[in-house]
Amino acid sequence: MAVLACPSRSVRSVPILFSMMVVASSFLLHETPFYHRPPPQTKPTVPSSPTILLSSTTSSNSNTNNRKRTSGQRYPTPPRIKKTANFIEAAALSSKLSSIPPTSPQKTIAIIGGGLSGLSCAKYLTDAGHTATIYEARSVLGGKVSAWQDADGDWIETGLHIFFGAYPNMMNLFEELGIEDRLQWKAHRMTFAMADLPGQFTSFDFPPGIPAPFNMAAAILSNTEMLTLEEKIRMVPGLLPMLIEGQSFIDAQDELSVEEFMDKYGMPRRINEEIFIAMGKALDFIDPDKLSMTVILTAMNRFINEADGSQTAFIDGNQPDRLCAPIVEHVEKGGGKVVTSCPISSIELNENDDSVRCLTLSDGTEITADYYVSAMPVDVLKRLIPKRWSTKPYFAQLSELEGIPVINLQLWFDRKLTSSIDGLCFSRSPLLSVYADMSTCCDEYASETQSMVELVFAPCTKEAGADRNWIAATDAEIVDATIGELERLFPAEIGPGAPDGVGAQVVKSTVVRVPRSVYATTPGRGKYRPSQESPISNFVTAGDFATQKFLGSMEGAVLSGKLAAEVVCDWSMGVETAGGGVKSVHESVVVPEVGREPRGVSGVGPIAYGGGAQGEFGRGKGGKEMEHP
Q: Per-residue pLDDT for 627 more than 80? A: no
For the stretch 219-274, pLDDT in tens is 999 999 999 999 999 999 999 999 899 989 999 999 999 999 999 999 999 999 99
Residues 6+ apart with CB under 8 A from 479: 409, 411, 506, 509, 511
CA 559 to mean position of chain CA atoms: 13
Q: Per-residue pLDDT for 97 more than 90? A: yes
Domain ranges of the chain: 23-37+183-313, 79-181+316-401+521-585+595-605, 404-514
Residue 588: count other Cβ atoms within 10 Å of its Cβ: 10
Closest CA to 229 of 241, 217, 240: 217
CA angle 568, 161, 344 (to 5 degrees): 45
Amino acid at residue number 596: R
Q: Per-residue pLDDT for 602 more than 90? A: no
Would you state the pLDDT for residue 71?
66
Would you state the pLDDT for residue 102?
84
Percent of the chain with pLDDT over 70: 86
Residues 474 and 623 sit within 8 Å (Cβ to Cβ)? no
Residues 565 and 578 sit within 8 Å (Cβ to Cβ)? no
Least confident of 10-19, 57-66, 183-192, 199-208: 57-66
Residue 332: count other Cβ atoms within 10 Å of its Cβ: 13
Beta bridge partners of 434: 426
Percent of the chain with pLDDT over 90: 79
Closest CA to 525 of 385, 390, 380, 404: 404
Residues 6+ apart with CB under 8 A from 624: none
Query: Phi, psi (5° rounding) for residue 135?
Result: -115, 105
Rounded to an integer, what distance in angstroms lies between the CA atom of residue 320 and that of residue 148? 8
Give CA torsion, residues 311, 316, 321, 324, to 10 deg. -10
Task: Examine domains 79-181+316-401+521-585+595-605 and 404-514 and report if their fold is the same.
Answer: no
Rounded to an integer, what distance in angstroms lies between the CA atom of residue 169 and that of residue 200? 36
Query: Phi, psi (5° rounding) for residue 496?
Result: -65, -15
CA angle 112, 117, 121 (to 5 degrees): 80
Helices 325-333 and 168-177 sit at what angle, rounded to 10 degrees? 60
DSSP 290: G
Where do the DSSP E strands lie in 80-236?
Answer: 108-112, 131-135, 147-149, 155-157, 163-164, 183-185, 189-193, 201-205
Residue 362: count other Cβ atoms within 10 Å of its Cβ: 15
Closest CA to 192 of 274, 272, 312: 274
Residues 304 and 310 sit within 8 Å (Cβ to Cβ)? no
Give CA torsion, residues 173, 176, 178, 181, to 10 deg. 40
Length of the chain: 629
Q: Per-residue pLDDT for 415 more than 80? A: yes
Would you state the pLDDT for residue 69?
57
Strands 201-205 and 344-349: unpaired
Residue 7: count other Cβ atoms within 10 Å of its Cβ: 10
10 Å CB burial of residue 26 (0-12, 13-18, 19+) is exposed
Would you state the pLDDT for residue 603?
79
Rounded to an integer, what distance in angstroms lies between the CA atom of residue 119 and that of residue 542? 11
Amino acid at residue number 489: L
Residues 146 and 318 sit within 8 Å (Cβ to Cβ)? no
Would you state the pLDDT for residue 104?
83
Would you state the pLDDT for residue 56?
31
Closest CA to 192 of 165, 140, 227: 227
Average pLDDT over residues 359-369: 97
For the stretch 260-313, pLDDT in tens is 999 999 999 999 999 999 999 999 999 999 999 999 999 999 999 999 999 999
Would you state the pLDDT for residue 629?
77
Rounded to an integer, what distance in angstroms lies between the CA atom of residue 251 and that of residue 263? 18
Residues 6+ apart with CB under 8 A from 209: none
Q: Which CATH number fits domain 79-181+316-401+521-585+595-605: 3.40.50.2300, 3.50.50.60, 1.10.10.60, 3.20.20.80?
A: 3.50.50.60
Would you state the pLDDT for residue 434?
95
Residues 6+ apart with CB under 8 A from 182: 174, 315, 316, 317, 322, 323
Closest CA to 218 of 425, 35, 29, 14: 29
**pTM of the entire predicted model:** 0.88
For the stretch 524-583, pLDDT in tens is 999 999 999 999 999 999 999 999 998 899 999 999 999 999 999 999 999 999 999 999
Least confident of 462-466, 558-562, 592-596, 623-627: 623-627
Would you state the pLDDT for residue 350?
97
Does 404-514 carry CATH code 3.30.420.80? Answer: no
For the stretch 54-92, pLDDT in tens is 233 333 333 333 334 566 778 889 999 999 999 999 999
Q: Per-residue pLDDT for 411 more than 50? A: yes
Look at 602 and 143; give whichever has higher pLDDT: 143
> Based on C-alpha coordinates, what's the Rg of the chain?
25
CA 473 to mean position of chain CA atoms: 24
Where do the DSSP E strands lie in 186-301?
Answer: 189-193, 201-205
Distances (CA, A) of 51 to 46, 475, 551: 10, 25, 48
Would you state the pLDDT for residue 522?
96
